[in-house]
Amino acid sequence: MDIIKRIIKYRQLFIVLVWREFAVRYRYSVIGVMWAGLQPLSMMLLFTFIFTYIMKLHVSSYPSFIFYFAGLIPWTFFSQSLNASIPSLTNHYQLITKIYFPRELLPLSSIAAALVDFFICAAILFVFIVIYNIHLTWNVLWVLPLIVLLVIFTTSVSLFLAGLNVYYRDVRLASNFLIQLWFFMSPVMYSVDSLSTRVKLLLFLNPLTFIIENMRRVLLEGRGIVLWQMAFVCAVTAVFYIVLCRFFIKIERAFADVI
């Protein structure tokens, strides 16, 4: 809650930092903002090629590339947020030692920029849904709380790792590997739908499992969410958020001395 209060107080600076993140990222690039969609789209093509044409897997009743794309969008948001926010504090050494402002603004502006990319990809997915005539039900509305969960969870993990990276640069070095492991632990190229409840519960300790799985479910399959599962994952995410953000605020005071 402290963090939300501080962002509101510093919202003008936050807006400018997000804008700056964008302006700097695409300034000297030729295709600019098209980069946002390019990565998940090319991964989607790769998965479809490998799993549908080489391994001949049948993952969904609708075109399988949409299955993969719908999983890749939240995943890309998560991995991009982590990749951008982990070095965000150490890269802005000169800001942290010369200016006072709430330090979380730096990782959060990286996340906000990734969120814009997320919505660009979501628009592309919507075009696919319309073209392939996928039937939408009211269950689609579940996507909104799922996005909120995704953002809260991503924020907690990013703040924690970005803060830790100030002390131990190992975090940056380990992050590529960690993100790769996390990718296979999340249902991007598979679905946990048919697994037993016990295995599901274990996998749901990674909130991304639930979030990615259910985004696909409510959006493409028109099914609802299992409420007790939602409650379980909300509780897990809340614990993550409270513990990790408190940790960040605790170590934040010393950043200028340590960095």
By CB under 8 A, name the binding residues for other proteins. 12-13, 15-17, 20, 23-24, 27-28, 94-101, 164, 167-168, 250-251, 253-254, 256-258
Kindly tell me which of 9 and 131 has the beta carbon lying closer to other proteins: 9
State the Cα–Cα distance between residues 102 and 149, nearest whole angstrom: 23
Q: What minimum distance in Å lies between the beta carbon of 17 and other proteins?
A: 8
Kindly tell me which of 13 and 226 has the beta carbon lying closer to other proteins: 13
Kindly tell me which of 171 and 220 has the beta carbon lying closer to other proteins: 171
Contact 69, 126 (CB under 8 A): no
What does 182-249 look like in DSSP terms, one character per residue? HHHHTTTSS--TTS-HHHHHHHHTSHHHHHHHHHHHHHHS-----HHHHHHHHHHHHHHHHHHHHHHH
Kindly tell me which of 27 and 198 has the beta carbon lying closer to other proteins: 27
Kindly tell me which of 16 and 174 has the beta carbon lying closer to other proteins: 16
Q: What minimum distance in Å lies between the beta carbon of 227 and other proteins?
A: 35
Kindly tell me which of 12 and 194 has the beta carbon lying closer to other proteins: 12
State the Cα–Cα distance between residues 200 and 43, nearest whole angstrom: 26
Q: What minimum distance in Å lies between the beta carbon of 257 and other proteins?
A: 5
Q: What minimum distance in Å lies between the beta carbon of 22 and other proteins?
A: 11
Tokens of 37: 């969609």
Q: What minimum distance in Å lies between the beta carbon of 102 and other proteins?
A: 10
Q: What minimum distance in Å lies between the beta carbon of 251 and other proteins?
A: 5
Name residue 89's amino acid: L
Contact 164, 107 (CB under 8 A): no
Kindly tell me the burial class for residue 229, based on how many C-beta atoms sit within 10 Å of its own C-beta (0-12, 13-18, 19 or more).
middle
Kindly tell me which of 56 and 98 has the beta carbon lying closer to other proteins: 98
State the Cα–Cα distance between residues 19 and 112, nearest whole angstrom: 10
Q: What minimum distance in Å lies between the beta carbon of 163 and other proteins?
A: 9
- CA-based end-to-end distance of the chain: 26
Structure-token match 């209060």, residue found: 5
CA atoms within 13 A on the CB side of 7: 15
> Positive or negative, the Cα torsion across 78, 75, 70, 137?
negative
